[in-house]
Structure 1
Amino acid sequence: MRPLLSPFNVISALLLVSAAFVDHVVSQPPAAPKPPKLQLGSVEQVRARLYFTDDQVQAMRPEVRTVSATSNAPDAVARAALKAWVAGPTSGDALPVVPKGSDVPNVWVRGEHYFVNLPAAYARLNYGSDGERMIVCTLTRTLLESRGRDVTFLLNGRNVETLLGHVDLRSPFLRDDCED
């Protein structure tokens, strides 16, 4: 009679038990992932000088205002400043440059250079040369007030020669290009 606990039988039993254990472990559903902890973004209050126009659309009117930025990074401050610029002035001697409810232009910062993507609706504004100059110059002065060297304008994501047919947008605008 053959022994029951022969080395072959012991090894076979161990393999059978380990196969059953592996099958049990593999067939278990994965553990549910822990949901990420939601963190509210901090909001920084930053002072910004915004530029608007006078009632004759001939001169820029600065207005110092506290804006809420998601951080103190230049691109976040620029986005907050442009949002406040579109909202218009809070003082009585200045007028908004774009109509209420206009879309806020997108802005990117690369080193000392700002890139502003104007919404397509800005090209349909019924402004003359002074109005077009005010759009470009108030944006330029608002963005370059504290930092930066120049502002390049795009329209709906594309380089354009002009916004409304009067001001050349092919090269970047410097602060000196928009002296009052």
Structure 2
Amino acid sequence: MRKLFSLFNVVAAALLVGAVLALQAVQRTPPTPTPPRPELTERQALKVKVYFTDTQVQRLRPETRTIQVAQQGPRALAQAAVDVWARGPYDKSFLGVVPAGSVPPKIYLRGQHFYVDLPEAYGALRYGTSGERMLLCTLTRTLLEDRGQDVTFLLNGQRVETLGHLDLREPFTRQDCTDL
């Protein structure tokens, strides 16, 4: 009997029991988590003025659109307006300034300053000076219609000096785009 309960046998038995319990714990399937309950947020319809260009790409043309937003913060409103801008105008006498199906830029807001992160594809549009200016001015006027002081443009998350032929080192203001 003495050899059955030796120190070595007791420690080995305890380790064996511990290993069996650990194996069972590891092989047990985890409980299925309960999915979060979707909370329906009330969307509000708001009117915004979105700018496009005329067919000769000479003048800015506003179009009043109704957007649905869940949040009324200035950044959320600006992003919703730019999403509508990227989809193009309803009025057939206006032109959208980006090709149909283009990804809308991302909008950031710091105080009264908008930052527009243009997708990389916008840098390869090859519009020429007037088309590039129209692209930037339609965005600037859309964003600064009711709020904001200026718009700084980024390309693919990076500060760039130019977009094609236009200088992007300084932010655009309403006054930069009033003569269109």
Paired residue for 2:160?
160
Paired residue for 1:18?
none
Paired residue for 1:97?
97
Paired residue for 1:145?
145
Paired residue for 2:107?
107
Counterpart contact for 1:114–1:152, Cα < 8 Å: yes
Counterpart contact for 1:69–1:79, Cα < 8 Å: no
CA 1:75–1:31: 2 relative to 1, 3 Å: same
Unmatched tracts of structure 2, length 5 or more: 1-24
Paired residue for 1:173?
172
> Alpha-carbon deviations, 1:78-120, whole Å to 9, x = none?
1110111011111122110111011110001111111000000
Cα distance in 2, alignment partners of residues 37 and 136 from structure 1: 41
What aligned pairs does 1:35-74 form with structure 2 within 5 A after superposition? 35-74=35-74
Paired residue for 1:83?
83
- Deviation, 1:41, is 2.9
Cα distance in 1, alignment partners of residues 95 and 31 from structure 2: 59
TM-score, L = length of structure 2? 0.79
Cα distance in 1, alignment partners of residues 155 and 30 from structure 2: 49
Counterpart contact for 1:46–1:72, Cα < 8 Å: no
> Alpha-carbon deviations, 1:110-154, whole Å to 9, x = none?
111110000000011020100000010000000000100010100
Partner amino acid, structure 1, of 2:174: R
Partner amino acid, structure 2, of 1:159: R
Paired residue for 1:3?
none
In the alignment, is residue 120 of structure 1 matched against residue 145 of structure 2?
Answer: no
- Deviation, 1:30, is 9.7
CA 1:31–1:126: 2 relative to 1, 3 Å: closer
Cα distance in 2, alignment partners of residues 121 and 33 from structure 1: 41
SS of aligned partner of 1:171: coil
Number of residue pairs the alignment of both structures matches: 152
Partner amino acid, structure 2, of 1:174: T
Cα distance in 1, alignment partners of residues 166 and 31 from structure 2: 61
